[in-house]
A and B are shown apart, each in its own frame.
Chain A
Amino acid sequence: MMRRIFTWIVDHAWWVIGAVGLMTIALAIPLFSLETNVDFASYMNSKDPAYILMKNAEDRYGSQTLLMVAVIAPDDIFNATTLAKIEQLETRLAEIPGVEEVQGPLGQDVITSSETALDVRPAAPGGRAPATPEGIAAYRERILGMQSIRGLLIAEDGSAAAILIRMERDASEFEVTRAIREVMNEVGTPPERFSISGEPYMMLSLTESIQRDLVVLIPIILAVMCGVLFLTSRTVRGVWIPLLVVGLSVVWLFGPLGILGIKVSIMTFILPVLLLAIGIAYGIHIMHRYDEEIALGKPRREAVIESATAISGAVVMAGLTTVGGFLSLLTCYMPLFQEFGIIAAIGVALALVLALLVVPALLAVLPAPKLRLRVRAEAGTNGRLARTLGTVVGGVARRPRWFFLVIAIVIAGLAVAVPLLKTDSSMAAFLGKEHPAILGMTDFDQHFSGSEQLMIEIDTGQRDGLKDPKVLREMLDLEAYLRTLGVRKTSSITDLVRELDLRFHADDPAFYAIPSERKQVSQLLALFSFQGGDFGTVALPDFSSGEIAGYYPRADGETKAKLVRDIRAYLGEHFTGDAKAEMVGPTQFFDSMGRQLIRSLISNIYSSAIVVYLIVAVIMGSLVAGLICLIPLAFTLLAIFAVMAVSGTTLNIASAAIASITMGTGIDYAIHFVSRYRTEMRADGDCRRSAERTARSAGRAILFNAAAVGAGFLVLCVSKFMAFRSLGGLLGLAMAASGTAALTIAPAVLVTLRPRFVTTPPWSRLRRFWESRTKKT
């Protein structure tokens, strides 16, 4: 069957090349319409309670998309030059199309009072920066006396100012954010430092980092792959043919994504790098085998057909296990990984199919290689590396019990470390602390109340329920409790009511309190509305429910998880009456995402193991063979998780997919070893000699393969994203570990267990059983 297919390809090589070329051109055009999706919320399972809570809150209170520009002065902002820059920023930012509202320390309305009047005016006279020493001193005293502004628009010590920008609902977030950054860069001259933060900037920054990564990573991986391919083939076409095939598969994969309008996620954007690393092997295998056939003196046509037919089984098996590994991500809880799994599996399948289609077609039309290849082909099993591998594996095969003892000690050590593994689904864990978007958050952590936000919804279930003084006092108690947990500032309707009471009573401090009567609360709130106040998220229009916002400095996943646990425990204990309280904002969302990551990782370890095991078992015709191939991988994953735990590398959105990638690619080395061992055993019958010979023959290829794929993964170490830098290093390590484990653990197990499948042809027992049944009937 395969021979007939390859014969047809060889006989119609130009047609195949032409058709693939035309198809590639057609699919390359939609590449330019590809868009990115960097919205972390869309990566969550939409049925997850945390996701539903957040979305419901957004529906009820509206999006809280804010951008923040910080102005950090060397001493403090209260000098004419710095204040002039702040004024310029406030004015120019407000002029940007798509900006709905700008809140700054100069223009922000503040309420002051006297015996007869309530006065609402900008914090600085006319919203303009004061220029005289007296004016600056008066402004300083006024603004630092505003409790609602301090810590939010002005640092407690006056060292920094913040400008909050709210966009129009339909504004293009990227365009507006770019314009804001442009203004900030123009106005933001030293000695002050200017930084920008907020979700829209985070999204823009992510997108720009993705674009930068694609521009940087692809040339690097191409260079690395060129080097690896040249080292292994020593020919120019040994470099460009495998690269071309994988390049085609990238176009064939991403072109349809553009046509279908599927956006490139934070995971799928690294697929070109992964495909180049993984898919390159298929072309290499066919070309190496072709070289061997040519070295044996076969004519070009026959050599192509023979090599493709002979190697297609192994290549398909390697491809299928990788496809299976990626498809196992479908069992993950998070849609992000499900989508990544499907797209990656299709990409690998395309790389596989194109390798089997294009490589034979190209080889059929290109001149046969020169004679010098024959020398290298024959020297493969007698080189220094092959001899070293033979010695190592021979040693393991002779003393498997000692080897297992060593391995057992190593596993015990690794197993102790694994529980230390932490999760962190935060942006900081993904981007890295030095990323510009995270640096902006750091500024807000240092000078203001904090860049992290938690939201708690208080729902009374009845109209005007929030006007009940009892409910307001419960909210006050909750806010006091939040501050004991490290929340620096809270904001809610209680602040409004108390401040209004204070202002209405001519700043008498005794009235900074919740009034005793519901009617008084109601009328104070009406007063706030009269004064042009916007309730925002602190209350719904009917005052049935509202939100408490808490601000705290950036925290890791574990700290957030504890914060969420403590708050939920408090809410469960204290809000048992008519007023219900629930966490709804980003803190609980990212905490849930962290738990989803763990859930996805665990389910993926099992599912990828099962999928890969089934594929190997079916192809090798033995259930035991499948298990033996999995053992080196289990060791590899254990080692990887232990390394992550010890090195402090957290499990994040990127690294949660490590199990499937390792399973799908790392299994090839064990399969390769076991297949060759089986061939040697059927020829010799002595397990130790067979293991040694297998190491000398297949060991070199396994090491080269692992090195090539590992080198490809390591390219991710220059990514702009810390998570991918970690992932690249871990996958490089995983390839080294799985290659080493395939060459040591697999032979030790094979020699110790002496399974029957290595000497009995696949499915022979089934065939014998079937034949016996037929005879009986």
Chain B
Amino acid sequence: MNSIRHTLKAAAAIAIVVCAATAAFAVTGDDVLNRMQDTFSIGGADSGEGILLSIAVVNQYASGITTDYNLAVAAETVVDPNRPADADETSHALMYFVGGDDEGMIFLLSTPEAKSEKSRMWLYISSFGLTKELVSDEDQSGNFAGSTLTYADIAGASDMRDDYSATILREETLTLGSEERPVWVLELTPRAGVDVEYARVVLWVDKAENLFLRLEGYDASGVETKEILVASLGTFEERRIPEVMVGRDLQTGDVSTITLSGMRRPAGGLAESVFDSANLGSFAPGTYGF
């Protein structure tokens, strides 16, 4: 079992992802990838408004064991009005553990968009009533909670543009539940000198929404090791967003399912104090309808 933190970072990223999506026409594989990455980047649309949603994570291990946990999430992107329009922004995500022995624990993540800056994380442990900042050098390659998905798999797709070059293999239609989604199928190969998890990636990118709908990761010997599928799409503010994502580790047989629900804007927005690490002990989920 690995880090739940990655789950939460991933969940935070998912929460942020839903804030932006712009369709565009692309000619080359790199163009498609860039467009997809832009979809992942944070637009200013939610600045000051924030998002509330619930995330359910279910890990089904090949051994037959199943674990699950539920999170109440509040996320927000803050744009400094004094900075240029294309400047980096900081996003905050607060994860509140719902139910079980971990009820009341809070994970707070502040993620600067700039790669040069590091995320900061705090953990509030309700049973002790104490908050600690978690300082770590850890990268984003680890699995979380023994699941098949890493932070890089889900949220770190934003790294793909820097790590891989893409070519269009073909265009086809992907069936997603009852929907037929036209997609580009990209083949991603690592850029020289870059340390990446996969030696080759095949990516299905929705033409209309620029969302990745399916990912296949291959190792250096050409064996597929990972598969991530968007099992269903939801709609939020007239944009399509991933609603259920399923990741399969083809080496271990473990399967993880992440379900997003109850996505909404908080009435009156989210106060900046919500994301202050000193206030974690006083966070009341009921106030936000959880």
Q: Is A527 an interface residue (CB 8 A)?
A: yes
In contact, B252 and A169 (Cβ under 8 angstroms): yes
Residue of B at shortest CB range from A543? Answer: B67
For chain B, the count of residues having a C-beta within 8 Å of the partner chain is 39
In contact, B1 and A534 (Cβ under 8 angstroms): yes
In contact, B4 and A529 (Cβ under 8 angstroms): yes
In contact, B252 and A523 (Cβ under 8 angstroms): no
Q: Is B235 an interface residue (CB 8 A)?
A: no
Q: Is B126 an interface residue (CB 8 A)?
A: yes
In contact, B133 and A117 (Cβ under 8 angstroms): yes
Size band of the A side of the interface?
35 or more
* 8 further interface pairs, Cβ-Cβ under 8 Å (given A119-B135, A527-B123, A534-B1): A118-B132, A522-B127, A527-B132, A529-B1, A529-B2, A529-B3, A529-B145, A535-B1
Contact of A116 among B61, B126, B133 (CB under 8 A): B133
The binding surface of chain A is classed by DSSP as mixed
A540 to B145, CA, bound (A): 11
Knowing A467-B101, A522-B101 touch, does A533 contact B135 (C-beta < 8 A)? no
Q: Is A462 an interface residue (CB 8 A)?
A: no
In contact, A504 and B3 (Cβ under 8 angstroms): no
CB distance from B181 to the nearest CB of A (A): 33
CB distance from A488 to the nearest CB of B (A): 27
Q: Is B279 an interface residue (CB 8 A)?
A: no
A530 to B5, CA, bound (A): 4
Q: Is B287 an interface residue (CB 8 A)?
A: no
Contacting residues, chain B, for A464 (C-beta < 8 A): 100-101
Knowing A523-B125, A527-B123 touch, does A532 contact B135 (C-beta < 8 A)? no
Contacting residues, chain B, for A59 (C-beta < 8 A): 63
A531 to B1, CA, bound (A): 12
Q: Is B142 an interface residue (CB 8 A)?
A: yes
B160-205 interface (Cβ within 8 A of A)? none
CB distance from A467 to the nearest CB of B (A): 6
Contacting residues, chain A, for B126 (C-beta < 8 A): 519, 523
A526 to B102, CA, bound (A): 8
Q: Is B251 an interface residue (CB 8 A)?
A: yes
CB distance from B20 to the nearest CB of A (A): 28
In contact, B4 and A526 (Cβ under 8 angstroms): yes
A517 to B126, CA, bound (A): 12
A379 to B191, CA, bound (A): 87
Binary per-residue interface labels of chain A (54-91) against chain B in the complex, 1 for a CB within 8 Å, 0 otherwise? 00000110000000000000000000000000000000
A422 to B110, CA, bound (A): 65
Q: Is B136 an interface residue (CB 8 A)?
A: yes
- What are 5 sample pairs from A and B whose C-beta atoms fall under 8 A apart? A121-B135, A517-B127, A519-B101, A529-B4, A535-B1
Contacting residues, chain B, for A120 (C-beta < 8 A): 134-138
Contact of A518 among B1, B2, B101, B138 (CB under 8 A): B101
Q: Is A380 an interface residue (CB 8 A)?
A: no
A731-770 interface (Cβ within 8 A of B)? none
CB distance from B145 to the nearest CB of A (A): 7
Residue of A at shortest CB range from B4? Answer: A529
Binary per-residue interface labels of chain A (523-567) against chain B in the complex, 1 for a CB within 8 Å, 0 otherwise? 110110111111100011110100000000000000000000000
Contacting residues, chain B, for A529 (C-beta < 8 A): 1-5, 145
Binary per-residue interface labels of chain A (111-124) against chain B in the complex, 1 for a CB within 8 Å, 0 otherwise? 00100111111100
Contacting residues, chain A, for B223 (C-beta < 8 A): 170
Contacting residues, chain B, for A518 (C-beta < 8 A): 101
In contact, A530 and B3 (Cβ under 8 angstroms): yes
A529 to B121, CA, bound (A): 13
In contact, B5 and A118 (Cβ under 8 angstroms): no
Q: Is A520 an interface residue (CB 8 A)?
A: yes
Contact of B67 among A520, A523, A541 (CB under 8 A): A541
- Residue in B2, B101, B133 whose Cβ sees the most chain A Cβ within 10 Å: B101
Residue of A at shortest CB range from B277? Answer: A116
CB distance from A491 to the nearest CB of B (A): 16
CB distance from B81 to the nearest CB of A (A): 31
In contact, B132 and A116 (Cβ under 8 angstroms): yes
Contacting residues, chain B, for A539 (C-beta < 8 A): 1
In contact, A520 and B4 (Cβ under 8 angstroms): no
Residue of B at shortest CB range from A61? Answer: B63
A518 to B101, CA, bound (A): 8
Q: Is A49 an interface residue (CB 8 A)?
A: no
Residue of A at shortest CB range from B8? Answer: A530
Q: Is A135 an interface residue (CB 8 A)?
A: no
In contact, A531 and B137 (Cβ under 8 angstroms): no
Residue of B at shortest CB range from A503? Answer: B132
Contacting residues, chain B, for A504 (C-beta < 8 A): 125, 128, 130, 132
Knowing A59-B63, A504-B125 touch, does A117 contact B132 (C-beta < 8 A)? yes
In contact, B3 and A121 (Cβ under 8 angstroms): no
Q: Is B105 an interface residue (CB 8 A)?
A: yes
Contacting residues, chain B, for A113 (C-beta < 8 A): 132
CB distance from B257 to the nearest CB of A (A): 15
Contact of B127 among A116, A117, A118, A520 (CB under 8 A): A520
Q: Is A486 an interface residue (CB 8 A)?
A: no
Q: Is B111 an interface residue (CB 8 A)?
A: no
Binary per-residue interface labels of chain B (89-124) against chain A in the complex, 1 for a CB within 8 Å, 0 otherwise? 000000001001110010100000000000001010
Contacting residues, chain A, for B128 (C-beta < 8 A): 504, 520, 523
A8 to B4, CA, bound (A): 80
Q: Is A191 an interface residue (CB 8 A)?
A: no
CB distance from B277 to the nearest CB of A (A): 9
A8-61 interface (Cβ within 8 A of B)? 59-60
A522 to B121, CA, bound (A): 19
In contact, A532 and B138 (Cβ under 8 angstroms): yes
Contacting residues, chain B, for A541 (C-beta < 8 A): 1, 59, 61, 65, 67, 145-146
B214-229 interface (Cβ within 8 A of A)? 220, 223
Q: Is B66 an interface residue (CB 8 A)?
A: yes
A168 to B128, CA, bound (A): 38
Residue of A at shortest CB range from B5? Answer: A530
A540 to B66, CA, bound (A): 10
- Residue in B67, B142, B145 whose Cβ sees the most chain A Cβ within 10 Å: B67
In contact, A526 and B105 (Cβ under 8 angstroms): yes
In contact, B102 and A522 (Cβ under 8 angstroms): yes
A204 to B65, CA, bound (A): 34
Binary per-residue interface labels of chain A (163-175) against chain B in the complex, 1 for a CB within 8 Å, 0 otherwise? 0000001100000
Contacting residues, chain B, for A461 (C-beta < 8 A): none
A670 to B225, CA, bound (A): 64
Q: Is A313 an interface residue (CB 8 A)?
A: no
Contact of A523 among B59, B101, B135 (CB under 8 A): B101
A519 to B134, CA, bound (A): 20
